[in-house]
Structure 1
Amino acid sequence: MTDRDLGALLERASEHLPEVDFAQGAWSAAVAERARRRRLALGTVGAVAAAGLAVAAVQLGGTTKPRPTPAVSSTTTASAGVLADGTAYAVMPLEGKEAQLPDFEAGLPSVINLASTATASVFSAARPPQSVVAVYLRVEGEIFQPVLVTGDGKQVLVDGVSLVSTNDASGNSAMPIGPRAIAGGRFVVFPQPDHVVRLDTHTGATVSYQVLSKNVEWAGWAADNATIVARSADHAWTIDGSAPGAKAVAADGAYEGKFRLAATADTRSLWVGHYGEKRALVDQRSVTGPVTEVWQDTLGTQQWAATGAFFDQTLTSAAIQRGNGPIYQGLVAVQADRGKARVLLAPESPDGQTGRFKGCCSVLGWADAKTVLYQSVGSHGRWILAWNIDTGQVYEVSHLLTGAPDDPVTPIALNVGWRY
């Protein structure tokens, strides 16, 4: 059985199941088996594997050089400690050093070319893509078209679906995709100004759910893989995503995730909200941390929550290594019911060198109970990286290729691990 066959079998067997722990266990076992066979192949037929990687890289629009085996050095070994307020921290490598990180197998292709049109085939209902592991949007003028990414790196353009940007009440626009866009490996939802579009990745068919607002900004699946939550800045609606003719039901305060993090007014603590099965807030607490502002959505497991963050530099300055720039951004993770926050700090490059962009790091999900998957963007490229919250180690997962370093950031939704 090939990797693709195994992925397709798992996807078909679990497409209608909620993403609960036993489903995650099955996925983890499949990923472990892929990694085992990959190591065996590399150890026994190294020259052939290197040649195969070169061909695959050309097909994906990437480099023809095989990935280097990372050496243990200051760029790949986690730097960790405790800040003055008691928050445990780890430090990312400098921007541009991501290729030197050890690999982490999360079920994603090692290269995802966000810029190439040559690598994307057109969707066919007769031969739908198997094992969809990610979705992003291709820009065509003012129109966005979904691109489905499979576990073996193929890209499928759904050219029959045309989306427009979302807008808030002030007229600010954004790309219509969020990190919880995919449910069960089959259905993908996209917010639109006054409705939500659901795409079936098996048939290419779409369903439109009307929403009584001109400013729908977010749409995502709840943990049950059946309920869609659509949100504007001030209102929210729930939709039965299994029924094509379902009505959007007003549900102000609803949130599609299990946990939500926010910076509190005193800027030295985090608000942690716990949402129940009805998508309503059921519990909350505050926790000490150096976070002044959070960035993008909160993604979690059954116990942990993480999001992008901006930091109080009076606290993070103690973690700056000699010659590096300031530390004002990164990630924060919190065990929802107890314990202190943990942060992953993103140091800027030394003076005179370009590095990370503001808002560099956004959480995409969790590969397992202890590993956050996130996108990192900077002047030397874009990556999906993994952060182990226990050890502090950062790993390379996928290289996201773009047309130019200053291209607008392309949001990408994953269909691996947890996205509660």
Structure 2
Amino acid sequence: MSEPELTRLLTRAAEEIRPTRPAEAGWERAGRVRRARRAAGVAAVAVVLLGGGTTALLHRSGPPPAAPPRPTVTAAPSAPVVQRPPDRLGEAGDPLGRLGDRVAFALSDRPVSRALALYQPVDPETGDAGPVRVLGDDGMVRELDVVTLAPTRDAEGNEATPLKPGSLSPDGRTAAFAQTGEVVVVGLTDGAVRRYPLTGYLEHVLWAGDRLLVGDRLLVGDNDTTYELDRRTGSARKLAVDPWTLVVPEPARSGDLFTVGGWSGDGGLAVRRFPASGGAPERRPVTAGELPPGYQLNEVYGRGWQRGDRIAQAGWTTTAGAAGTMSGAEGVAVLDARTGAVTRLLDLGREGRTKGCCEVYGWTADGAVLLRYDAGLARWRPETGAVDWVASNVPGRLSIAAR
């Protein structure tokens, strides 16, 4: 190989894969770069060996160059309070993008060190649900085969998938599933299954962390009752908290519980705080807060998720435009848990969306909100207004570990 040809190969091998490119293009380009590096390495070794420069080559070889730093996101205080996603979302390049990959292993054969998410596919045409899948931090998808889960049901026989948004523990090592008459807890790192008998048609489950500083706790609910289950002892006590509107607490934060819900006969939509020490709950009506005139959060659905004094919550809104106000639009709001005021709103409109399209699945460590976006998963940054694809085709139910 001539010296110019070798130079071109080495130059091509040193090219960077820019993190702002779409994920598919990034993977394709990464493959080209890896192939170029291998070809360049082989050619370089051959040339040096032929020239008798083996010792010099080894002497000049050092550790591989450090990976470029991950891009940082800076807050944009001037970002509007009401934000809208672009017509075409960019790719976030997130590890959760592998949620839709095919199953590679059974959990019993290869447990995870940590799960990034749980996913239960649901056929959009028939409504049939498949087995629960586990996305590990190694990027591989496993089938949860160590337990057979039945759909949750209520007293009238209405059924739903056993995977709930709050099923996966914040550390990604354990999963909990409400079942009729019991709660099933699965160790994802060892495949161990433990069952906790609990009376009722249980439908709700979410992790409360060390809320009272006395051990791991699960909040489990049926139609109108919330239990606080101590996993160490198996004992449970009732809480005066609505299981349907209960907000998922911030991981590792011991303290109060919140709900977001209400209707006209209950005084309207409100944030309620239930002190960990007991006592009467505090009620804060949800207000338009910083929203422009004509905008309002009317109703909510799905779980709210707490992060500090903020609650991310999906719901139906009234929006304003050139043609006047429109009710029934989809949106995701950030609420101030202390006052009930809406501080940010992602306006998703109504046209072309199914009702209840955009349930929230949690916060990321850098302040972004993960939400269902039609058949996919998206990431919204309220401080900048950016909205990106995380996974574009994962119809079904999701539960995501804290990040």
Task: Report the TM range for the smaller structure's normalisation.
Answer: 0.5 to 0.7
2:214 aligned with 1:228: no
Give per-residue Cα distances to partners, 1:279-311, cap 9 Å, x unaligned.
987433113131221111111112110111011
Q: Tell me what 1:371 maps to.
A: 368
In structure 2, the CA distance between the partners of 1:156 and 1:41, relative to structure 1 (3 Å rule), is farther
Q: In the TM superposition, what is the alpha-carbon distance from 1:338 to its structure 2 partner? A: 3.4
Q: Tell me what 1:7 maps to.
A: none
In structure 2, the CA distance between the partners of 1:276 and 1:146, relative to structure 1 (3 Å rule), is farther
Q: In the TM superposition, what is the alpha-carbon distance from 1:390 to its structure 2 partner? A: 2.2
2:297 aligned with 1:294: no
Q: Tell me what 1:251 maps to.
A: 239
Q: Which of 1 and 2 has higher RCO (CA within 8 Å, sep 6+)?
A: 1
Task: Tell me the SS of whatever aligns to 2:99.
Answer: strand
Q: Tell me what 1:8 maps to.
A: none
Give per-residue Cα distances to partners, 1:303-340, cap 9 Å, x unaligned.
1101110113xxx141789xxx9861111110111373
Which structure 2 residue ranges, 5 or more long, are not aligned? 1-14, 33-77, 250-256, 289-295
Q: In the TM superposition, what is the alpha-carbon distance from 1:371 to its structure 2 partner? A: 1.6
Distance between the aligned counterparts of 2:279 and 2:153, measured in 1?
Answer: 25
2:296 aligned with 1:306: no
Task: Tell me the SS of whatever aligns to 2:209.
Answer: coil
> Contact between 1:235 and 1:253, CA under 8 Å: does it hold in 2?
yes
Letter in 1 for 2:28: A
> Contact between 1:230 and 1:237, CA under 8 Å: does it hold in 2?
yes
2:192 aligned with 1:205: yes
Q: Tell me what 1:239 maps to.
A: 229
Q: Matches of residues 33-44 of structure 1 in structure 2 within 5 Å?
A: 41-43=16-18
Q: Tell me what 1:275 maps to.
A: 274
In structure 2, the CA distance between the partners of 1:165 and 1:280, relative to structure 1 (3 Å rule), is farther
In structure 2, the CA distance between the partners of 1:364 and 1:385, relative to structure 1 (3 Å rule), is same
Give per-residue Cα distances to partners, 1:353-411, cap 9 Å, x unaligned.
xx32211100000013632111111xxxx222112222222122x22435xxxxxx411
Q: Matches of residues 101-140 of structure 1 in structure 2 within 5 Å?
A: 101=90, 103=92, 105=94, 108-113=95-100, 116=102, 119-124=103-108, 127-137=110-120
Which structure 1 residue ranges, 5 or more long, are not aligned? 1-39, 55-78, 82-87, 350-354, 403-408
Q: Tell me what 1:5 maps to.
A: none
Letter in 1 for 2:354: F
Select the residue among 167, 176, 180 that pairs with 2:162.
Answer: 176
Q: In the TM superposition, what is the alpha-carbon distance from 1:218 to its structure 2 partner? A: 0.3
Distance between the aligned counterparts of 1:167 and 1:278, measured in 2?
Answer: 32
Q: Matches of residues 6-405 of structure 1 in structure 2 within 5 Å?
A: 41-43=16-18, 50-52=28-30, 81=80, 88-94=81-87, 97-98=88-89, 101=90, 103=92, 105=94, 108-113=95-100, 116=102, 119-124=103-108, 127-137=110-120, 145-183=131-169, 184-213=171-200, 215-224=201-210, 226-243=216-233, 246-253=234-241, 255=246, 257=249, 258-265=257-264, 270-277=269-276, 282-289=281-288, 290-312=296-318, 316-318=319-321, 328-338=329-339, 340-341=341-342, 342-349=344-351, 355-368=352-365, 370-377=367-374, 382-396=375-389, 398-402=390-394
In structure 2, the CA distance between the partners of 1:102 and 1:280, relative to structure 1 (3 Å rule), is farther
Distance between the aligned counterparts of 2:270 and 2:184, measured in 1?
Answer: 32
Q: Tell me what 1:12 maps to.
A: none
Distance between the aligned counterparts of 2:129 and 2:195, measured in 1?
Answer: 17
Give per-residue Cα distances to partners, 1:48-77, cap 9 Å, x unaligned.
9525469xxxxxxxxxxxxxxxxxxxxxxx
TM-score (norm 1): 0.65
Distance between the aligned counterparts of 1:139 and 1:145, measured in 2?
Answer: 9
> Contact between 1:363 and 1:374, CA under 8 Å: does it hold in 2?
yes
Distance between the aligned counterparts of 1:209 and 1:145, measured in 2?
Answer: 22
Distance between the aligned counterparts of 1:268 and 1:318, measured in 2?
Answer: 28
> Contact between 1:112 and 1:400, CA under 8 Å: does it hold in 2?
no
Q: In the TM superposition, what is the alpha-carbon distance from 1:130 to its structure 2 partner? A: 2.7
In structure 2, the CA distance between the partners of 1:370 and 1:281, relative to structure 1 (3 Å rule), is farther
Distance between the aligned counterparts of 1:338 and 1:252, measured in 2?
Answer: 21
Task: Tell me the SS of whatever aligns to 2:272.
Answer: strand
Provide the alpha-carbon RMSD of the alignment: 3.6
How many residue pairs match? The answer is: 314
Distance between the aligned counterparts of 1:276 and 1:326, measured in 2?
Answer: 34
In structure 2, the CA distance between the partners of 1:143 and 1:270, relative to structure 1 (3 Å rule), is closer
> Contact between 2:209 and 2:218, CA under 8 Å: does it hold in 1?
no
In structure 2, the CA distance between the partners of 1:240 and 1:392, relative to structure 1 (3 Å rule), is same
TM-score (norm 2): 0.68
Distance between the aligned counterparts of 2:147 and 2:129, measured in 1?
Answer: 9
Distance between the aligned counterparts of 2:166 and 2:278, measured in 1?
Answer: 14
Q: In the TM superposition, what is the alpha-carbon distance from 1:133 to its structure 2 partner? A: 0.4
Q: Tell me what 1:4 maps to.
A: none
Task: Tell me the SS of whatever aligns to 1:179.
Answer: coil
Give per-residue Cα distances to partners, 1:182-229, cap 9 Å, x unaligned.
22221110111221110000111111111111x211011103281011
Distance between the aligned counterparts of 1:189 and 1:332, measured in 2?
Answer: 27
Letter in 1 for 2:147: V
> Contact between 2:132 and 2:163, CA under 8 Å: does it hold in 1?
no
